[in-house]
């Protein structure tokens, strides 16, 4: 190159900088020429990730193909990595329409009736000869299938490879899984929770009791209720603390107590101490989740001792209504409660 004085300087050869030639550099490159240089550097340092497989036929036995594949150790590790990544991909979740195929099979599409979303049971409507509608709630509809069409429902599930979603079937699967878990002794061993030791004082108990009273919106007289005193007395006898039941356990205990009370009332109302009639009072209402409920109370005179009569009152029934609240259906619900206790003749 002539610099104007007469001297000629040779052209300096182009050498890739460390930034471009280094394959570990993960920075973004904007220029296309630099990108090409990066690709060339990577090909020279690492080589191709996959080796080409060549197949040739055996001269003696043309029906057998010999596949020659000589992967390097690096390529094998790459393949294993890709396989592991594929195996870790979770399966896609089923669409909401697939999870409710059973409901769509037995019920019509959602309809609007009297401002409520309802669905018509195809099987009941065909059998009764007129539309039978229920609240458009998946849990409610499946409870209806369990009580009225469980045989047909399970047959349909078997033919269509659908896992039964009936409440009893779900509970049976949970119980079966629980039995399998209990096969190991480790499942029965529980670690004792270390709790902070609290020194009792009347002032501290008063503060905690008032705080519970206000937080749970209880009446002031709740602290003087005999059942509250009984609960505190039983808790005070525990040596290693107490275990407070959770929501599911509390619900199950309430239902179990209600069944025991119904059996006790059936025996009591049909004994010789109750000779007269049983007066019934009923009420129906609808909760915020559009579920309807029907409660029945009874009042009667009982001869607890000879020539001593006392007026007694008790809750006789608490029924969920999943259909219209007309007089005919309420009458059926009332008769069902009376028949369960054996007092329909009274």
What is the average pLDDT across 70-99? 51
- What is the pLDDT, as a whole number, of residue 81? 43
Query: Secondary structure of the chain in the HEC alphabet?
Result: CECCCCCECCCCCCCCCHHHHCCCCCCCCCCHHHHHHHHHHHHHHHCCCCCCCEEEECCCCCCCEEEECCCCHHHHHHHHHHHHHHHCCCCCCCCHHHHCHHHHHHECCCEEECCEEEEEEHHHHHHHCCCCEEECCHHHHHHHHHHHCHHHHHHHHHHCCCCCCCHHHHHHHHHHHHHHHCCCHHHHCCCCCCCCCCCCCHHHHHHHHHHHHHHCCCCHHHHHCHHHHHHHHHHHCCCCCCCCCCHHHHHHHHHHHHHHHHHHHHHHHCCCCCCCCCEEEEEEEECCCCCEEEEEEEEEEEEEECCEEEEEEEEEEEEEECCCCCHHHHHHHHHHHHHHHCCCCC
pLDDT digits (tens, 9 = 90+) for 15-50: 555 555 555 555 555 556 666 776 776 776 665 444
Average pLDDT of the chain is 77
Contacts of 273 by beta carbon, 8 Å cutoff, 6+ apart: 302, 303, 304
- What is the pLDDT, as a whole number, of residue 280? 93
Which token pair is 303?
């001869």
Share of the chain above pLDDT 70, in %: 68
On the question of pLDDT at 74 being above 70, the answer is: no
- What is the pLDDT, as a whole number, of residue 330? 87
pLDDT digits (tens, 9 = 90+) for 207-254: 999 999 999 999 989 999 999 999 999 988 888 778 888 999 999 998
- Pick the range with the lowest mean pLDDT from 39-53, 105-119, 272-286, 308-322: 39-53
pLDDT digits (tens, 9 = 90+) for 103-147: 888 998 888 888 888 899 998 988 888 888 888 888 889 999 998
Give the CA count within 13 Å in the CB-facing half-sphere of 265: 24
- Pick the range with the lowest mean pLDDT from 6-15, 36-45, 174-183, 307-316: 6-15
pLDDT digits (tens, 9 = 90+) for 291-306: 888 899 999 999 888 8
């Amino acid at each position: 190159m002539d610099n104007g004085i007469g001297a000629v300087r040779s052209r300096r050869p182009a050498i890739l900088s460390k930034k471009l030639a280094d394959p570990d550099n993960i920075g973004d490159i904007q220029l296309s020429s630099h990108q090409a240089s990066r690709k060339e550097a990577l090909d020279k340092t690492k080589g191709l990730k996959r080796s080409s497989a060549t197949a040739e036929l055996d001269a003696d036995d043309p029906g057998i193909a010999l596949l020659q594949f000589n992967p390097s150790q690096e390529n094998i590790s790459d393949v294993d990595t890709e396989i592991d990544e594929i195996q870790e991909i979770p399966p896609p979740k089923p669409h909401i329409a697939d999870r409710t195929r059973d409901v769509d099979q037995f019920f019509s599409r959602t309809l609007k009736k009297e401002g409520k979303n309802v669905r018509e049971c195809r099987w009941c409507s065909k059998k009764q000869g007129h539309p039978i509608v229920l609240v458009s709630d998946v849990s409610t509809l499946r409870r209806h299938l369990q009580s009225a069409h469980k045989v047909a429902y399970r047959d349909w599930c078997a033919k269509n490879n659908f896992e039964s979603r009936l409440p009893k079937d779900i509970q049976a699967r949970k119980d079966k899984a629980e039995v399998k878990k209990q096969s190991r002794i480790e499942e029965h061993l529980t670690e004792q929770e270390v709790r902070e030791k609290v020194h009792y004082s009347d002032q501290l108990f008063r503060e905690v009791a008032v705080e519970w009273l206000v937080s749970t919106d209880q009446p002031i007289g709740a602290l003087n209720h005999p059942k509250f005193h009984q609960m505190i007395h039983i808790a005070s006898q525990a040596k290693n603390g107490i275990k407070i039941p959770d929501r599911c356990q509390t619900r199950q205990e309430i239902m179990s107590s209600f069944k025991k009370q119904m059996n006790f009332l059936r025996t009591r109302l049909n004994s010789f101490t109750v000779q007269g009639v049983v007066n019934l009072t009923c009420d129906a209402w609808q909760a915020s989740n559009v579920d309807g409920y029907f409660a029945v109370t009874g009042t009667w005179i009982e001869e607890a001792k000879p020539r001593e009569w006392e007026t007694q009152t008790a809750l006789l029934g608490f029924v969920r209504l999943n259909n219209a609240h007309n007089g005919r259906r309420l009458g059926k619900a009332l008769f069902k409660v009376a028949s369960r206790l054996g007092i329909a003749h009274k």
